[in-house]
Amino acid sequence: MANPSARLRANPCHLPGYQIERILGHGGMGTVFLARQISLDRLVALKVMSRNWAEDPVFVARFTREAYAAALLNHPNVVQIYDIGESGGIRYFSMEYVPGRTLAEVIRRDGKLAPETAVAYIVQAARGLQHAHERGMIHRDVKPDNLLVTEQGVVKVADLGLVKTPESSLPQPERLIPESSDSRIGLASLPLGMTGHRIALGTPAYMAPEQCRNAAEVDHRADIYSLGCTLYALVTGRPPYEGESAVELMSHHAYTPLIPPEQISSRVPKELSAIIQKMMAKEADERYQSMAEVVRVLEDWLGVHHAGRFTPSDKDIERIERYARTFHTAPTALLRQRVVHWYLMVCLLAAVLMMFFGRLDWTFGLAGMILHSAGLYFILTGVAHRSYLFRRVNQFLIGLSLGDWLVGLAGVALFSILLWGLGLLWVWTGFGLIGAALAIGLRYGLDRAIDQERYVPVAKCQRLLQRMRITGASEEELQLFVAKYSGKHWEEFFEAIFGYEAKMRTRTLLLRAGNVGEREKFASWREPIINLIDRVEKERRARRERELLERVEQARLVAEGVTEHAARAQAIATADALVHRAEHLRAANAREIPPSLQEYQVLVASGQAPSLATTLASTTTRRESMFKILWIVSGIGLISLCTLWAAQNLLFLRNSAPGEIVSDGLLSMSLNHAWKPLHVSGLPVEFTRWFDSWNVGIAGLLLILSRHSRHVGPALLVLLGVIIIAFGHHLGIRSFDPIRSHHVGLMLGIALVLIGMRFDR
């Protein structure tokens, strides 16, 4: 039988769902490819297990468990594992592809680093490892090759496929030979002679003494030792120990006294040298006892935290505010906003009005124009920018079954037949072509200019954040910093820098903190669509992962001599336990609040810091005040004229038909009685004849209630609704028995007013 990895290298298209572009590295465990995940249109590092290991059920079960556990880690300083799968005998998992360099490459190119820069890199790695340790996972192979630095200066811990988890009760494989190093994925490297049942996984040049003796007894403090070795290499330009063989290196780690880094490089301060030596103590009890303590000590040495929380300088705050303001006030962006707003308003209003004026063909045509323009613009923008929503919709569509596609195509065909039967097909198509042309014009006429205008503030902000990372600021703190000081329209600017998922996490944290001030959501219409897709994809992934876990656990148990029936039952129970723990961990991650935000909550509650409600609350301008006054005065005027009209008609009815009000009731009269128009001496009849129903008073009342309108578009929509309520029956709105034209205008106008008030909110 052919080797699956060799077959994959010869014909990469054999792995469904991925388009393999090139090999990143390969070794004893398998091959790692740079691949494009088709459903989400993103680059991933795809690790494919070699045939030797893929045919070992014990190793496959252990490997799948630990990869599944590592996939639960979600932290800015950890390389994310996306998916675990098996297809045609090929076992693989995909993980985040990180363009950039490893710290090993940084050392080879630049030599020893400035102590401040080295510590800033290591403290980021320590935060990622702390996240793993708090969830019961140990890396066991921390070294410069496994620490990646992105182009934005973010350090990510890679190669968590060798983690040790509490569930890893399976025996260690005796033939494991990790892969050679690669600059994009940080694959572990080991001399080929490093084998044996009790030998710890890892790299001898950075291995803790207890890890050299017995792999089964290491805990999270082994990662602290290896991270100290990495920091030692960064500040001195060389590893702490050197030797001709793995055994010699491990002997040095276990017994040879460490040369203080300050004696190798005079630039290393004594305080930092002492920190490194404590991290690399021979006995685990003499080191720092948690990665959280390491993070705190390194942050204190950098001086990035004061009074227990991240404190950006006033100059940095001013820069973020300026960048966000420049981003939002880009001239072409404001023009596009007005164009889209008025386009939708005019089309919707025209469609509704045409319906009430009896032109259903135009109503359908305008609806088709809106749908065609929105759909094509979504596709053009998604392809150009690879937007998050476009990629998720693409993932959802690719995941549909053949039956789902047939149902969808049948629905389109039936809709087309319906339009043809009603004689509206060509109207729908013609208006649709107009909408498509408008979408193309918007995309290539305005969006390109917007991209150019906004590139500068985004690039400047990213450079500022990169500089702040070098000084030790964490990703969570930087994200909260940008969100807090980008104004109430922070979301679009934030999303351009950190992405949609980071924006949603940060919004949740701000809401959880309370006192976040007045915040405007950007494109909130996307969220219900994405949430629906998330629910579907969550069910698909959970079903796929559960089936995979059951298969590998059952194969392991059968290989160990358990009967098929018993293995099946035990595998189901094991898979249930792993999935249950994963759900619990994901829920805990969702509830977690970063320490910087906890500190902010305390400061706000104690009154030591101003709340964002104070710093971000919008002020009412003089023009807005005048607008509200005019709005209220107009409403009072309509109510007054309606009251005068009602008094005249009731007096007329009382004099001409006594008892009619009592016997018939006002509702019956409003349906059956012909009301007289308002008559005011001194005013022309052409003016007063418009005031001839209760609609005028209702319009005035709604005008007063909507006085808080803050945006021009919704305010005009409310105004149009008020006009239709009060005077629509004079403008040609049709009626149908027993409903009169002013009742139709009342219903249509109220709908428009409510829509306008909703849009304004």
> CA-CA distances (angstroms) from residue 465 to 254, 459, 461, 498?
40, 10, 6, 11
d(CA 93, CA 548): 12
pLDDT of residue 604: 39
SS (H, E, C) 2-49: CCHHHHHHHCHHHCCCEEEEEEEEEECCEEEEEEEECCCCEEEEEEEE
Stronger pLDDT, 339 or 173, i.e. the higher one: 339
Is residue 78 classed as helix, strand or coil in its secondary structure? strand
pLDDT of residue 293: 93
Q: Average pLDDT, stretch 506-522?
A: 70
Pairing status of strand 100-102 against strand 81-87 = unpaired
pLDDT of residue 454: 92
Stronger pLDDT, 223 or 607, i.e. the higher one: 223
Stronger pLDDT, 662 or 131, i.e. the higher one: 131
For a pLDDT cut of 90, what percent of the chain falls above it? 18
d(CA 703, CA 718): 8
* Band of pLDDT at residue 326, cut at 50, 70 and 90: very high
pTM over 0.75: no
pLDDT digits (tens, 9 = 90+) for 177-200: 333 334 333 333 333 333 333 344
pLDDT of residue 474: 84
| Contacts (Cβ under 8 Å, ≥6 apart) of 81 | 67, 70, 71, 73, 93, 94, 95, 96, 160, 161
pLDDT at 661 over 50: no
pLDDT digits (tens, 9 = 90+) for 115-162: 999 999 999 999 999 998 888 888 888 999 889 998 888 999 987 655
Give the domains, in start order, of the chain with CATH numbers: 4-303 (1.10.510.10), 319-473 (no CATH), 622-760 (no CATH)
* Band of pLDDT at residue 234, cut at 50, 70 and 90: very high
Q: Average pLDDT, stretch 467-475?
A: 84
* Band of pLDDT at residue 622, cut at 50, 70 and 90: low
pLDDT of residue 587: 67
Contact (Cβ atoms closer than 8 angstroms) between residue 601 and residue 484 = no
pLDDT of residue 266: 87
Q: Does 141 qualify as catalytic in the annotation?
A: yes
pLDDT of residue 168: 43
pLDDT of residue 654: 57
Taking the alpha carbons of 70, 72, 76, 80 in that order, is the dihedral positive or negative? positive
d(CA 40, CA 392): 6
d(CA 153, CA 503): 20
Stronger pLDDT, 125 or 708, i.e. the higher one: 125
Active-site residue, from 41, 56, 110, 141:
141
